[in-house]
Amino acid sequence: MKTFYGIDLPNPLMLGTAQYPSPAILEQAVRESGAGVATVSLRREGAGGTGQAFWQIVQDLGVLILPNTAGCHTVKEAVTTAHMAREVFDTKWIKLELIGHTDSLQPDVFQLVEAARVLTEDGFQVFPYTTEDLIVAERLLMAGCEILMPWGAPIGSGRGLNNEYALRAMRAEYPDVPLVIDAGIGLPSHAAHAMELGYDAVLLNTAVARAGDPVVMARAMMGAIQAGRLAHEADPIAARDMAEASTPVIGKAFLS
C-alpha cells in the first residue's frame, strides 16, 4: 500500500465527520469502521459554539485528522481556511475543496490548481478533491500535490463510480501516485469496486452518516474496502463475453 506524504495508513478508509445524528454515534461509527483518517470541515463543525467539544471528540478517536476546505468557492477562501486548520490541528495535511457548481458540487478545477500551488509553496501537504480528468490531474501534480482524489460521483449522491473508464485510465496513467476515490460512494459494493480498480483508499461521509444505522454501515464499509483491496491484490480474472468451462475436457470419458 502506498504512503500518504510518507505516512502509512492503518486502514484505507477515510471517514467524514459531518451529519451524524449525535456525537456518540459519530464516535461509534468511526471506531467500528477502523478508519485511519477522519476528515473535518473547520467552517461547518465550528459553527454554533460547539466547535471545541467537537474537536475534542475527534482528537480522542486517535486517528489522523484531515481538515478540509468544504464550502469554499475562491482561492482566497480556501487558502485562508487551510491556514486556520493548520493552526487548530497542527497538521500540514489539508483536503482542498473548491466548489465551482452549486448543484453538482463539482470542483472548480482552474481555481483548484492555483490554490494547490499556493498551499504547497506554503508547506501544506495537499489532498485535492478533483474530477477524473487526466489533464487536471497532471496540473495538480505539477503544482506540488503528491496525492489525487478524484470523485466517484457528486458529493452525497450515492451513485458509486459514474465514470469507471476514466477512473481506470487515471490508475493506469499514475501507477505510483496514491489515488483516493472521494465522494459519491453510497453502498459497500461501491467502495469495494473502487479498491478492486486498484485505488489506494476511499473517502466517504454521507453513506455512513445518513444511513439508518450509521454504526452498522461503518462496519460494512470497512469489510467491503478490505475485501476490495484483497481482490485487487489477488489479480482477479478478466471479464469475458463467452463462457469458459471450469472442468477440463482432457481426460473426460466420451461415448461413441
Residue 95 appears among annotated catalytic residues: yes
Determine the Cα–Cα distance for residues 207 and 157; give it in Å rounded to an integer.
Answer: 9
Q: 168 or 88, which is more confident?
A: 168
How many percent of the chain have pLDDT more than 70?
Answer: 92
SS3 32: helix
Q: What is the pLDDT of residue 50?
A: 54
Residues 88/55, Cβ–Cβ less than 8 Å? yes
pLDDT above 60: residue 97 = yes
- Give the pLDDT band of residue 204 (cuts 50, 70, 90): very high
Q: Rounded to the nearest 5 degrees, what angle is found at the Cα of 55, between the Cα atoms of 51 and 56? A: 120
**How many alpha carbons lie under 13 Å from residue 4 in its C-beta half-sphere?**
27
Which residue did the predictor score with more confidence, 209 or 44? 209
Backbone torsions φ then ψ of 190, nearest 5 degrees? -65, -45
pTM of the complete model: 0.89
Q: Which amino acid is at 34?
A: G
pLDDT in tens, 210-224: 999 999 999 999 999
Rg of the chain taking only CA atoms, in angstroms: 20
Q: Provide the pLDDT confidence category of residue 38 given band limits of 50, 70 and 90.
A: very high
H helices of the chain, where?
23-33, 42-45, 51-60, 75-89, 109-121, 134-142, 164-173, 188-196, 206-209, 214-233
Residues 152/121, Cβ–Cβ less than 8 Å: no
Look up residue 243 and give its three cell numbers: 463462457
Determine the Cα–Cα distance for residues 98 and 74; give it in Å rounded to an integer. Answer: 7
- Dihedral angle, C-alpha 121, 127, 133, 134, nearest 10 °: 60
Q: pLDDT digits over 127-178, tens only?
A: 999 999 999 999 999 999 999 999 999 999 999 999 999 999 999 999 999 9
Give me the pLDDT at residue 62, please: 85
> What integer pLDDT is reported at residue 105 of this predicted model?
87
- 10 Å CB burial of residue 73 (0-12, 13-18, 19+) is middle
The pLDDT value recorded for residue 48 is 46
Around Cβ 105, how many Cβ atoms within 10 Å?
18
What is the rounded distance in angstroms from the CA atom of residue 150 to the CA atom of residue 145? Answer: 13
pLDDT attached to residue 49: 46
Q: Choose the catalytic residue: 2, 76, 92, 95.
A: 95
Identify the pLDDT of residue 47. 46
Residue 35 has pLDDT above 70, yes or no: yes
C-alpha cell at 96: 482542498
Please report, to the nearest 10 degrees, the dihedral formed by the alpha carbons of residues 73, 115, 105, 213 taken in order.
-110
pLDDT for residue 83 is more than 50: yes
**What was the pLDDT predicted at 51?**
60
pLDDT of 256 higher than 80: no
Helix axes 109-121, 134-142, angle to 10 degrees: 20
Asked if pLDDT for residue 5 goes beyond 90, the answer is: yes
pLDDT tens readout for residues 216-255: 999 999 999 999 999 999 998 888 888 887 777 666 666 6
Q: Once rounded to an integer, what is the mean pLDDT over residues 48-75?
A: 81
Each residue's pLDDT tens digit, 170-199:
999 999 999 999 999 999 999 999 999 999
pLDDT band at 43 (very low <50, low <70, confident <90, very high): low
